[in-house]
Structure 1
């Protein structure tokens, strides 16, 4: 395939339009061109092919034998090109096909199930592939459409979408507190058993403030470390120690009374939740999922102001 062939594809489109319209004048009007320009394009096509395609008379146009064959094949080519565009258009404007989402382990359970439940139920042709990991992932190599993450995003070539902020606090089970006692001041925390994630992240530091703007920084030593949030939550629920936990991911345990706040009058600053995509021109299904996520997080803020704080989206 060379440049001359590609140029003839355009001429083929003009030729087929002339045949479909029955005259160069009508074809010119439909294409937004002058009649003389259309005539010149047809003449150029005939010259390059070395064959007469149209027998011109004062009243109408008649296809030559070569013109009939060229029109039949050329029209098929145009329809194939249109079908290719329609296929892309369907991806751009429909909720079908496969969508890949990478997200932290904690968000991959109840939060994401609640956020996308209606979308999944109402669109059976939409296939969701979840990649739950608390480690790093290459969205381009893994063909990930949406990366959901927490904390401060690193500089990258990906496109950023703020979704909100998730509250976090120190939690323990009633079993643990009954056995070890309730801390009444941040200074008491170092006398307790601590559990946490083994990698540095938004749940690593303990910086507490109270209403009087008093600040306390705690650096506890972890007796148990975990490489995923769900394991950490499970062990805290079993009464093995204290941990800083994200409130969005433990709503069910809080509602059942399995986890309670430690030092409820003290506060830890929330951490942001955001999404990344590899393209600014994302398909409709990607944009729809982002919208569902933003709506879900906003609703969580309305239901539980202390558990989730929504950030406006640009």
Structure 2
């Protein structure tokens, strides 16, 4: 990389035929520029410039080197400018893996705005709960809830979603409404398969309460849990966004509203840190909108 940088410095010196003017244009000390060109000549093993007190002249080797280097520097500058244009107006097919419930509740309402902002991007969304292989499968990004399982992937945190307990009014009329987390083991709790299947930590301010849950239903879909809860089959732990529609239609309401579970984190997972503009903009957009709530 130093060699390429020094080539660009050499081209600038030759174009203006002056170390002083080139140094001013590049924003660096004249002595530094002169030292870098001397180092370049030593690395090549040939003199490129004949220096006098008034002007500089190209040697035969310098003339040949300048013709080659100028093309390389011009191509690099053009590539840089084109990439800048891509960042400003990204395009291409964005392939994303999304969990079903999160995509429907959180992503779908945002897509009208994002697709309008970036009309050059087209989309291929795969809605699946499975952990896709970002190395061998053609996905640009996977959006997942919960802490990442693989340390081999690059995880960018997008948001932390608050979670509360919910039940239908009819369930609470039939079985009574718990007044403290300690009463939850006496209720039918709809459990999402995972580390919180049996032991749930709830907090109210600085107070913490661990509760061992019971119940006949253990599933791997938040959407299914929400549906079962709205059908009066138990108490569910849901993020506010997932429960919002059911709450607005009085099919669910908060249970123990002063208590909440640890927020669930949302991550964008990629195989590399070097992302195309379409993927960068998608991740940045989701982080901004999800943080707003």
- Structure 1 partner of 2:78: 83
CA distance in 1, matches of 2:24, 2:102: 56
Q: Report the Cα offset of residue 233 of structure 1.
A: 3.4
**Counterpart contact for 1:208–1:266, Cα < 8 Å:** no
Number of equivalenced pairs: 281
Instruction: Provide TM-score, normalisation by structure 1.
Output: 0.62
Q: Aligned-pair distance for 1:125?
A: 2.4
- Of 156, 161, 171, which residue of structure 1 is paired with 2:157? 161
Residues 170 and 39 (structure 1), Cα distance of their counterparts in 2 relative to 1, 3 Å cut: closer
CA RMSD of aligned residues (A): 4.8
Q: Which residue of 2 aligns with 1:253?
A: 246
Q: Measure how far apart 1:21 and its partner are.
A: 0.6
Paired with 1:208 and 1:55, the residues of 2 have a C-alpha distance of: 77
Separation in 2, partners of 1:215, 1:102: 35
Is the CA contact 2:8–2:73 (under 8 Å) kept in the aligned structure 1?
A: yes
TM superposition shift of 1:76? 1.1
State how far apart, in whole Å, the 2-side matches of 1:96 and 1:167 are: 36
Whether 2:264 is the aligned partner of 1:272: answer yes
Q: TM-score, normalised by structure 2?
A: 0.66
Aligned to 2:101, the other structure's residue is in SS state coil
Contact kept in structure 2, 1:183 and 1:189, CA below 8 Å? no
Corresponding residue SS for 1:73: helix
Change (3 A) 1:94 1:264: same
For structure 1, which runs of at least 5 residues remain unmatched after alignment?
Answer: 1-5, 301-314
Q: Does 1:109 align with 2:104?
A: yes
CA contact (8 A) 1:11 1:45 kept: no
The answer for the alignment partner of 1:73 in structure 2 is 68
From 104, 110, 117, the equivalent of 1:122 is 117
Whether the aligned pair in 2 keeps the contact of 1:24 and 1:39 (CA below 8 Å) is no
Task: Give the C-alpha shift of residue 170 in structure 1.
Answer: 3.1
Hey, what's the Cα distance between the residues in 1 that align with 2:184 and 2:40? 89
Task: Find the structure with the greater CA-based Rg.
Answer: 1
1:134 aligns with 2:123: no
Q: Is the 8 A contact 1:54 1:64 kept in 2?
A: yes
